[in-house]
Amino acid sequence: MDAHPRKLAVMAEKGSNLEDAVAEATKAATRQKAGEAGRKRGGGRASDVFGGEMRRRDLFPLLVLHLIRSEPSYGNLLIEAIESMTQGVVSVNPNTMYPLLRDLESKGMIEGNWEHPDKRTRRFYSITPAGEEEYGRLVEEIEPFLDSVIRSISLIKAEVYGK
């Protein structure tokens, strides 16, 4: 049984024994570390802790729209910005980022323009009015999930460290 933020939040909300939640988190962390060690030996990127759940919750589209609201950006810069924002806890694979950018563009939420159209170098993306609308929707929709992650981590920290 995998312990991810939603499961921990549900366990906490249902009054489940916090000890059980911590045990689940410990098992998940052990599996996570084993997986990261294997990926690092293979030369790949380390996996992020909550990545799968964040993808299912549309957090990556929210972050992309958030970041390009202030200024146009391109894929690798967005990947670096997300990793920097989360202090490396969340890493986005280019195989996730570029299909996401194409999808957002095809839905009219972002607009892409080549830095040098004749050379097809970097493609800079900017938000559209439809993207602004989607951003507002995602901000509202995702906040409860983020709150549950914060609660879960806080419960684990309080249990383990007594704070």
At 49-80, the pLDDT tens digits run 565 677 678 999 999 999 999 999 999 999 99
SS3 content of the chain, % helix, strand, coil (to 5): 65, 5, 25
Q: What is the pLDDT of residue 111?
A: 98
- For the CA atoms of 137, 126, 146, 103, what is the dihedral angle to 10 degrees? 80
List b or e across 95-107, with b for residues whose CB sees 16 or more CB atoms inside 10 angstroms.
Answer: eebeebbeebbee
State the pTM of this model.
0.67
Cα–Cα nearest to 146, from 76, 97, 103, 90: 90
For the chain, which ranges sit under pLDDT 50?
A: 1-3, 34-48
Mean pLDDT of the chain: 80
Q: What is the pLDDT of residue 24?
A: 60
Phi and psi angles of residue 129, each rounded to the nearest 5 degrees, phi first: -55, -40
Q: What is the pLDDT of residue 107?
A: 97
Q: Tell me the residue type at 52.
A: G
Q: What is the pLDDT of residue 22?
A: 56
Ordered by start, the domain boundaries in the chain are 5-161
Q: What is the pLDDT of residue 140?
A: 97
The CATH fold assigned to 5-161 is Arc Repressor Mutant, subunit A (1.10.10)
